[in-house]
């Protein structure tokens, strides 16, 4: 097999070069505004609904215990619209506002990511290993107006709130409630 490949390297090289040149010369008109959530996700949902695309999961998450969350393109679109409404209405965010999200890789992480794309909100993910000092720096440097986290990391955020002049809302992803925090699952 390697002889056949090496023996045809001129043909392969010319094919690659030709393909590359065709891509470079292709002048596709770019839209003035592009939104992955509405331009791609919603289009795939429409194609699925019309029967022109097979129904496949848009999102499939499995945790260590074997629990699954599986969303179709239509379900992900609907949930991301609801999540975008939570961010814009309950949290008071507008296009261009920044959100710091420090969550483990739970389904809500991806849902909020798509919701931010849909609403034009800047999604800034952070690792759950951030310290209070790290969180404080990110809040000040980014001028984030919302912080999204879970029950475990909420105390670290609360410890730096006095120094955070831009933060307007705090959103918690979890089952319980916490004073001064909006609960994402309840609002969704």
Give the number of domains in the chain. Answer: 1
Q: What is the pLDDT of residue 27?
A: 62
Output Rg (C-alpha) for the chain, integer angstroms: 22
Quote the domain boundaries for residue 91.
32-183
**Do the Cβ atoms of 77 and 83 come closer than 8 Å?**
no
Q: What is the pLDDT of residue 20?
A: 58
Residues of the chain with pLDDT under 50: 1-9, 11
Q: What is the pLDDT of residue 15?
A: 57
Residue 8 placed within a domain = no
Q: What is the pLDDT of residue 2?
A: 44
CATH of the domain at 150: 3.40.50.980
Residue 1 placed within a domain = no
Q: What is the pLDDT of residue 177?
A: 85
Of 128, 120, 118, nearest to 148 by C-alpha is 128
Residue 19 placed within a domain = no
Q: What is the pLDDT of residue 26?
A: 66
């Amino acid at each position: 097999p390697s002889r056949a490949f090496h023996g045809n390297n001129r043909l392969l090289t010319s094919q690659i070069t030709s393909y590359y040149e065709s891509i470079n010369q292709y002048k596709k008109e770019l839209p003035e505004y592009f939104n992955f959530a509405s331009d791609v996700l919603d289009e795939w949902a429409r194609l699925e609904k019309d029967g022109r695309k097979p129904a496949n999961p848009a999102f499939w998450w499995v945790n260590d215990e074997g629990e699954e969350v599986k969303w179709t393109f239509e379900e992900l679109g609907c949930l991301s619209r609801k999540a975008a409404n939570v961010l814009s209405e309950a949290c008071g965010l507008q296009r261009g506002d920044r959100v710091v999200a420090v969550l483990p890789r739970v389904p809500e992480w991806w849902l909020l990511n798509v919701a931010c794309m849909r609403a034009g909100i800047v999604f800034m993910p952070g690792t759950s290993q951030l310290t209070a000092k790290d969180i404080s720096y990110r809040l000040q440097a980014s001028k984030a107006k919302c912080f999204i986290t879970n029950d475990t990391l909420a105390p670290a955020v609360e410890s730096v709130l006095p120094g955070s002049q831009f933060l307007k809302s705090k959103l918690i992803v979890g089952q319980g409630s916490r004073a001064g925090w909006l609960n994402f699952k309840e609002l969704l």
